A and B are shown apart, each in its own frame.
Chain A
Amino acid sequence: MSEKIIVDKRCCPVCGRPTVLAKAISETGDPKDAGLWYYCICGIIFNKDFPDPEPKTEEYLKKYRDFKEYELIAKQPVRIYAPIIEELTMGRKMLDIGFGTGKNMEYFKERGWVSFGIEKNKDTKETDRIIKDDFESTDKLYKSTYDLVWMSHVLEKFKDPLSALYKARELLQENGVLYIATPDIDFLYGKPSGEWTHWNKSDNHILWNTRSVKRELERIGFNIVMCRRNYYSRFGFYHDLHLIAQRIYF
């Protein structure tokens, strides 16, 4: 891992302010592999360009499936947060955006949820419950349909995350719930950049902290029910934030 501070001017894709501070961070240590990350005072760090990655394949997902304790790790977010979500909303219809291996949907099914998913993975097989498309551009989803929209580590990958959050709000029923897990850049204050594992220049576009994501969600019309920072790898990812928001919160 190597990093170098650079002064360059660019507009923040979230607040529109000009920002001048950027860091060239290389995960491999080779400066040639470095990605240029811009720091904005609104609480985000953004990639120089939208990486626009090629849709992943089944082979890519295999590395997750082969991970030690994968079944337990994949189940953890549902095991911990589903009871809270089930207390907030009565309906049981959920949409998993960028479901990857599909484990979350499976665990929600086991709990009695009617699960739907959207994924742009090349090898995704479409069914009446699975849409193979890009969430940001698709028009295959119905408004006011779901009781839960599950966004686990996809917010940081969106080209236009604010529009994606607006879209999520539209898809939810009145008392529907949004779950977000995304890297938390506040961990960078307490750790060297090299220990923070989310500098993935070829996948990630905009990285958030708790304040920036909460602020934008509230502007869109969500009520924040819970937001916590996760230090542990029990959830697969770590140094990220977990957030539950609801359209109408009593």
Chain B
Amino acid sequence: MWGVLNGDMIIISPLFRILKEKGYHVICHTGKRGLNVLKGNPYIDEYIEYLKEGQENKDVDKEWEELEKKIGADYSKNFAESIEVQVSSHPKSAAYNYPKNETLPRLKQNFYDATMKWAGFPEYTGLKPELFIDKKEEDKVKHHIRKKQFNILWAWSGSGQNKAYPWAEFVMGDLLKRGDIHIITVGDEKCQILEFNSSHKNLTKLSGKISYRESIVLAKLADLVVAPDTGLLHAAGAFSTPKIGILGHTTIENITKYFDNDYSLEPLEGTCECAPCHKLIYDNKLQCPIDNLNGASWCMSKGHPPERLLNQILKVKNVRKNHSR
């Protein structure tokens, strides 16, 4: 099996268990990101690493063909194309410009169900991500979690520019005033530019400072994960940690439908007619209606007013508090 982006690797993660249960010897051919996400998965017997240190880009499809011949597998599946591409509209796709009334019924499907169908197991539905974290990994990052406070793990952005939430600082600012909330922000190195310019003692800024794997471990340990439609939201789906997905171009049906303790939000009704567009956004300035006020995509800016997200976070906090009593 082969996979690409972090989120995609998480989406295909339940498939390994199914293959193993069916008696297969499971070999996973993936790159560094995939290895990082799937680390510790007991259902994978062997890994073949694509693009080892120092190697140049190779034609993955060609390499895949050669591997298939060499191994002579009973079952093989190439997930080199992003799962999102399969169930969303790519600008190259003829369906990209379909009007909303034609797009919605076509793309009203859960990514996990769609993946299983793509993999040839349509009878398996309702699956969640499966990630495996060991005690050692937890020990390594647990110092970031404060026992007496409500820990929120906040992912700044995702693979597309349309996923950035423009009111994050407003919501965080209000939460930090409350004193009993600790916010940990994560993201890649590029996300450092989005970091909240505050030195508040209850704000821990970790963008670009910890690995993606460590972010996943924190998603397990935190009290709440707040993220746009990105790999970390999928990762949080593997755990019972409450999660709020700030969704714009996708829906709860697509992403978080089967997740435990899901409090995800879709754009407020009547604020954003283009959402959910189910489009792959590479340049939001070109592809999205933009809010002139902050330069963010309309679904994120107008669809998710800051007070709405704030209330949802406080709601989760209360539920969590009552539950722990």
Contact = CB atoms under 8 A, between A and B. Distances in A.
Interface of A: 82-83, 86-87, 90-93, 109-115, 142, 145, 147, 173, 175
Given A82-B99, A90-B91, A173-B286, 11 more contacts: A83-B99, A86-B97, A90-B287, A92-B289, A93-B290, A93-B298, A111-B100, A112-B274, A114-B274, A145-B290, A173-B285
A112 B286 contact: no
A93 B289 contact: yes
B289 A109 contact: no
16 contacts: A90-B91, A90-B286, A91-B286, A91-B287, A92-B274, A93-B289, A93-B298, A109-B273, A110-B101, A112-B100, A113-B273, A113-B289, A114-B273, A114-B274, A145-B292, A147-B289
Contact of B101 (A111, A115, A145, A147): A111
Contacts of A142: 292
B101 A114 contact: no
B221 interface: no
Contact of B274 (A87, A113, A145, A175): A113
A173 B288 CA distance: 11
B159 interface: no
Nearest to B270: A109
A115 B273 contact: yes
B99 A112 contact: yes
B109 interface: no
Contacts of B298: 93, 114
Interface string B83-112: 000000001000001011101000000000
Contacts of B236: none
Given A111-B99, A111-B100, A112-B99, A91 B273 contact: no
Closest 9 pairs (CB-CB, A-B): A112-B100, A93-B289, A111-B99, A114-B289, A90-B287, A86-B97, A109-B273, A92-B274, A112-B274
Contacts, number: 52
A173 B284 CA distance: 12
A175 B101 CA distance: 24
A87 B97 contact: yes
B103 A112 contact: yes
B272 interface: yes
Nearest to A175: B286
Most B Cβ at <10 Å: residue of A92, A110, A115, A175: A92
A189 to B, nearest CB: 37
Interface string B271-286: 0111001000000011
Contacts of B97: 83, 86-87
Given A114-B298, A115-B273, A91 B100 contact: no
Nearest to A114: B289
B303 to A, nearest CB: 10
Interface in B260-308: 272-274, 277, 285-290, 292, 298
Given A112-B277, A114-B272, A114-B298, A91 B289 contact: yes
Contacts of B91: 90
B101 to A, nearest CB: 7
A114 B285 CA distance: 14
Contacts of B287: 90-91
A83 to B, nearest CB: 7
B273 A112 contact: yes
Nearest to B282: A90
Nearest to B286: A90
B106 to A, nearest CB: 13
Contacts of A82: 99
A36 B289 CA distance: 44
A239 B274 CA distance: 34
A32 B274 CA distance: 52
A173 B285 CA distance: 9
Nearest to A90: B287
A114 B297 CA distance: 11
A126 to B, nearest CB: 17
